[in-house]
Chain A
Amino acid sequence: MSTAPIAATPPEQLQSVVFDATLEGRIRELLSRYPTTRAALLPVLWLCQERYGWISPGVVRAVAERLGESPATVDGVVTFYTMFYTSPPARYVLQVCETLSCAVCGGAELLHHLEKRLGVKAGEKTADGLFQIVGVQCLGACGSAPVVQVNDDYYENLTLERLDALLDELAGRS
């Protein structure tokens, strides 16, 4: 398993966003799945996050325009959900589950270890933009606690050693 890094488009390139033909084609396909335009909002935001790495205000405006909603409405949706990045994320976002089952099975230690090893606190990025630690709520993998989600991938039954090895591997590949 090899987790793909996130390549976040720099903010200055996302102030005014125009969807290219590929993206537009995929949006049209998504729209065909629903009887209303607005229902495609979450899928279109996902598409944009895949493409640009995060949802900038410029992306919000482009999505709003495309779906016929106000930018504020799209903002409201983007910020209701925790998985849309509203600022450029690091290449690897380490999402440490904090909820009960993980917490009693060593999740806290994982988080403290990450903070110590990377020298940043939860919520922050390392200076090289490689890693970002985020404390998250239940990831739905409690039977294999403790769990860390790195970008899209789950890493389960983690120990400090396995976590170190994972970080080494991710850092080495980048």
Chain B
Amino acid sequence: MEPVLLRARGVPDSRAVDTYLSAGGYQGLRKALLLGPDAVTKEVLDSDLRGRGGAGFPTGRKWTFVPKDHPGPRYLICNADESEPGTFKDREIIEHDPHMVLEGIAIASYAIRANTAYIYIRGEFVRWARILEQAIAEARARGFLGPDVLGSGYGLDIWVHRGAGAYICGEETALIESIEGKRGFPRLKPPFPAVVGVFGKPTVVNNVETLACVPHIIERGAAWFASIGRPKNTGPKLFCVSGHVRRPGVVELPLGVTFREIIEEHCGGIRDGHTLKAFFPGGSSAPVMTAAEVDVRADFDACAEAGTMLGSGGVIVLDDSVDMVGAAANLAHFYAHESCGQCTPCREGSDWCMDILDRILDGRGRAEDPETLLRICRFASQGMTICPLGDAFALPISSIVKKFHEELESAIRRAAPRPQSKLPVLPWNGPRPGFGA
């Protein structure tokens, strides 16, 4: 397919506003201002665009949840917290085409009648925060942002707000708390952000890639967008492929391609001398898939049918050199480090899983460990926690326990610790338990 979201990749000076304009940039915004907010929302609804941040919720529907008659301010937040392991697509868009994101923000803000938008970008992305700030300044200077956008009378300010190192702030209500200057504790829902969001006002939080789709939908029409991909799984999607493929990176493909196509045709296949063992289809929080499942289609519904999820489209490819128990332990470390600590099952469960898996790797496994891991995962997920972080660690770990049961059993039977160099897992760093901060 022709590149849509990645069309600027490889274009010289692609970040400059003039480059963007010469590629037809900001035409979507012009058109949107003529259509009016409701028609814009309808177009996005008709396109069947689903959120690219992980949940796959229909974007247009999310916008319609904002109460129309709300008198006070509303806000749009662009979620550029990109922290899901295996995900690095938003960075790619911002690196090559920041104005596409700004145009998407402007159109979305207009649709929900917000006059202020924040881009919440993860703290580590210093370079990309600067790129965005520069692009905002350019867009303002050209009248695409500011008190009177393109002479329409509609005003919009966009501010870049940097996170400071917390995976959980990718969750939209934790992100909102973080913007408010608080610890990133996800909020109880209801109320949902569309009704009570940042600063207590109606707020829509959309992912960078989601918003980057919007100018194209408005400019080229919902039907064009819906013609890409499969029914209800429409449009181009960025797949972030990492791990043991020959050519890792971000590829743009229609939703609904198979993971085999992604891995073999677009990323050069598995590195020499090895075969595919497993892959995480949508970031590390998705249940793991085995090599036998590589023909599953990469879209929201097909993944759900296969018992996993498309998530953010972060495909982590693991070949036969990988010790799956080590992989599980590695992820357990990640989630234990990133659990905000509010909810008992997630706070205690993620840490507990980590301890069990570390102990197995240390050659001190116990016969009951698989069962205990599954029990922890069961009671840390499916509504046992405020936000989905409980599910996020429970799903990959429980799926590894189930799908790689024999590997786990044999690791448990092994008496002596394995040599450190064979482990893909690093020792826990910093003063365990991170105490004395």
Q: Do chains A and B touch in the complex (CB under 8 A)?
A: yes
A98 to B284, CA, bound (A): 14
A99 engages B334 (CB within 8 Å): yes
Contact call A77/B165, Cβ cutoff below 8 A: no
- The answer on a CB contact under 8 Å between A98 and B199 is no
CB atoms of A36 and B181 under 8 A apart: yes
Cross-interface CB contact of B199 among A39, A41, A143, A153, cutoff 8 Å: A39
> Could you tell me the distance between the alpha carbons of A77 and B316 in the complex, rounded to whole angstroms?
32
Interfacial chain B residues near A11, Cβ < 8 Å:
none
For A104, list chain B residues within 8 Å (CB): 243-244, 318, 321-322, 327, 424
Q: What total count of A-B pairs have CB within 8 Å?
A: 168
- Which A residue's beta carbon lies closest to that of B123? A83
Residues in B neighbouring A108, C-beta threshold 8 A: 421, 423-426
Interface size range on B against A = 35 or more
Q: Mark A87-108, 1 if CB is under 8 A from B, else 0.
A: 0000000000011110111011
Mark each residue of chain B from 49 to 80: 1 if its CB lies under 8 Å from any CB of chain A, else 0: 00000000000000000000000010000000
Interfacial residues of chain B within 247-290, with CB under 8 A of chain A in the complex: 248-250, 280, 284
Which residues of the partner chain B approach A131 to less than 8 Å between Cβ atoms?
none
A107 to B250, CA, bound (A): 20
Question: Are A138 and B163 interface neighbours, CB within 8 A?
Answer: no
Q: Which chain B positions have C-beta within 8 A of A43?
A: 161-162
B337 interfacial by beta-carbon distance below 8 Å = yes
A104-B244, A153-B127 known; A142 and B199 CB under 8 Å? no
Contact across chains for A42 and B181 when beta carbons are under 8 A apart: yes
Question: B181 to A137, Cβ gap below 8 A?
Answer: no
Give the interface SS of chain B, mostly helix, strand, loop or mixed: loop
Q: Is B22 an interface residue (CB 8 A)?
A: no
- Using Cβ atoms and an 8 Å threshold, which residues of chain B touch A82? 164-166
Q: Are A143 and B426 in contact (CB under 8 A)?
A: no
Which of B7-15, B83-91, B189-197, B298-306 lines the interface with chain A?
B83-91
Which of A46, A81, A140 touches B88 (beta carbons < 8 Å)? A140
Contact call A76/B126, Cβ cutoff below 8 A: no
How many of chain A's residues touch chain B, expressed as a range?
A: 35 or more
| Residues B429 and A143 in contact, CB atoms below 8 Å apart | no
Partner of A39, one of B179, B330, B423, B426: B179
A:18-39 near B, CB below 8 Å: 33-36, 38-39
CB distance from A3 to the nearest CB of B (A): 11
CB of B82 within 8 A of CB of A140, answer yes
Task: Find out whether the CB atom of B182 lies under 8 angstroms from the CB atom of A77.
Answer: yes
Min Cβ gap A15→B in Å is 19
B184 proximal to A (CB < 8 A): yes
Asked if A122 lies at the interface with its beta carbon under 8 angstroms from chain B, I say: yes
Asked if A81 contacts B426 (CB within 8 A), the reply is no
For residue B338, CB closer than 8 A to chain A, the reply is yes
Q: What residues of A have a CB within 8 angstroms of the CB of B182 in the complex?
A: 38, 41, 77
**B85–A101 touching, CB < 8 Å:** yes
Say yes or no: is A45 at the interface (Cβ < 8 Å to chain B). Answer: yes
| Interchain CB contact (< 8 A) of A123 among B244, B249, B424, B429 | B429
B188 proximal to A (CB < 8 A): no
- Interface residue? B242 (CB, 8 A): yes
Minimal Cβ-Cβ distance residue in B for A111:
B426
Q: Is B292 interfacial (CB-CB < 8 Å)?
A: no
Which residues of chain A from 119 to 156 have a CB within 8 Å of any chain B CB?
A: 122-123, 134-135, 137-145, 149, 152-154
List residues of chain A with CB within 8 A of the CB of B84.
138
A33 to chain B: closest CB distance in Å? Answer: 5
Residue of A nearest to B90 (CB): A140
| Inter-subunit contact B164/A100 (CB<8 Å) | no
- When distances are taken between beta carbons in the complex, the residues of chain A under 8 Å from B240 are 142-143
Q: A74 — nearest CB in chain B belongs to which residue?
A: B181
The residue of chain B having its C-beta at the shortest distance from the C-beta of A107 within the complex is: B426
Q: How far is the CA of A100 from the CA of B397 in the complex (A)?
A: 13
Q: How close is B105's CB to chain A, nearest CB, in angstroms?
A: 15
Given the known inter-chain contacts A36-B199, A46-B164, A135-B429, please indicate yes or no for A103 contacting B424, CB distance below 8 A. Answer: yes
Which residues of A are found within 8 Å of B122, using beta-carbon distances? 140
Q: List 13 A-B contacts (CB under 8 A).
A: A33-B157, A38-B182, A79-B437, A81-B123, A84-B165, A98-B330, A101-B243, A104-B243, A104-B322, A139-B124, A140-B125, A141-B91, A152-B126
- What residues of chain B have their CB less than 8 Å away from a CB belonging to chain A? 73, 82-88, 91, 122-127, 157, 159, 161-167, 178-184, 199, 240-244, 248-250, 280, 284, 314, 316, 318, 321-322, 327, 330-331, 333-334, 337-338, 340, 421, 423-427, 429-431, 437
The 3 A-B pairs at the shortest CB distance, nearest first, are namely: A135-B429, A41-B181, A81-B164
**17 other contacts beyond A42-B164, A77-B181, A103-B425, with CB at 8 A cut-off?**
A33-B159, A36-B199, A39-B181, A42-B161, A81-B165, A98-B330, A100-B331, A123-B430, A137-B334, A138-B85, A139-B124, A140-B88, A142-B240, A142-B242, A143-B248, A145-B248, A152-B126
